[in-house]
Amino acid sequence: MCGILGGTGEFSNQLVEFDLQLLYRRGPDNQKLLRVNKDLTMAATRLAMTDPHPRSNQPMCDVSTGNTIVFNGEIYNFKLLRNDLKQRGFKFTTDSDTEVLLKGLSFYGEEMIEKLEGMFAFAYFDKKSNSLLIARDYLGKKPLYYSVKDSNIIFCSQANLIKKYVKGINIDYLSIQNYFNFGFLIDPNSMYEQIAAVRPGEYLKFEISDGSLLKQNNFIPYSIQHPEPSNIRDQIQKSLYERIDGHQNNLALSLSGGIDSTILAIECSRLGIPVKTYSMSYPDSDKERYNIDSNNASVIAKKLKLDFNVVAMPDSQEIPLILSDFIKLMGEPSNNPTGLAMTHLYSQISERGHRLVITGDGSDEIFGGYPRYRLAHRIRKFPQFYRLDSYELTKRLTLKSNYLVKYLLPFESWNSNNLWKYFHQTMSEGDLKFLNNKFQFTNTKFFGDELHDYFDHSFNRVAATLFKDLRTWLPMESNRKLDRISMWNSIEARSPFQAETIIGSGLKLMNKSNFHNLDKYYLYESYPELQDLPISKVKSGFISPVGHWLRSNSELQYEALAGINSFLPLNKEFLKELHNAPKELNFRYTKMLWSIIVLYNWFLNE
CB 360 within 8 Å of CB 495 = yes
Burial zone of 295 (CB within 10 Å; 0-12 exposed, 13-18 middle, 19+ buried): middle
Strand partners, 146: 155, 196
Strand partners, 152: 149
pLDDT tens per residue across span 518-570: 999 999 999 999 999 998 766 544 368 999 999 999 999 999 999 999 999 99
CB 212 within 8 Å of CB 206 = yes
Rounded distance, CA 190 to CA 199, Å?
11
**What is the pTM for the complete model shown?**
0.95
What pLDDT is stored for residue 438 in this prediction?
A: 81
Residue 28 gets which letter from DSSP? B
pLDDT tens per residue across span 390-404: 877 766 665 555 677
211 to each of 106, 136, 206, 326, how far by Cα in Å?
21, 19, 6, 34
The topology under which CATH files domain 2-219 is Glutamine Phosphoribosylpyrophosphate, subunit 1, domain 1 (3.60.20)
Q: Report helix, strand or coil for 388.
A: coil
Q: Which residues of the chain have pLDDT under 70?
A: 1, 18, 51, 394-402, 441-442, 537-543
Taking only Cα atoms into account, the Rg of the chain, rounded to an integer number of angstroms, comes to: 24
**CA 28, 31, 33: angle at the middle one, nearest 5?**
160
CB 332 within 8 Å of CB 301 = no
Rounded distance, CA 206 to CA 209, Å?
9
What pLDDT is stored for residue 137 in this prediction?
A: 98
Give which of 161, 154, 149 is closest to 19, Cα–Cα.
161
**At residue 212, what are phi and psi to the nearest 5 degrees?**
-70, 145
Domain ranges of the chain: 2-219, 223-541, 546-605
**At residue 255, what are phi and psi to the nearest 5 degrees?**
-105, 105
Torsion over CA of 338, 344, 350 and 356, rounded to 10 degrees?
-10
CB 48 within 8 Å of CB 29 = yes
Q: Report helix, strand or coil for 84.
A: helix
CB 94 within 8 Å of CB 514 = no
Burial zone of 87 (CB within 10 Å; 0-12 exposed, 13-18 middle, 19+ buried): exposed
What pLDDT is stored for residue 445 in this prediction?
A: 82
Rounded distance, CA 545 to CA 409, Å?
30
What pLDDT is stored for residue 541 in this prediction?
A: 40
What pLDDT is stored for residue 543 in this prediction?
A: 65
- Domain 223-541 CATH class label: alpha beta
* Cα first-last separation, the chain: 26
Q: How far is CA 422 from the centre of its chain?
A: 20
350 to each of 157, 281, 306, how far by Cα in Å?
21, 18, 19
Rounded distance, CA 94 to CA 402, Å?
58
What pLDDT is stored for residue 138 in this prediction?
A: 97
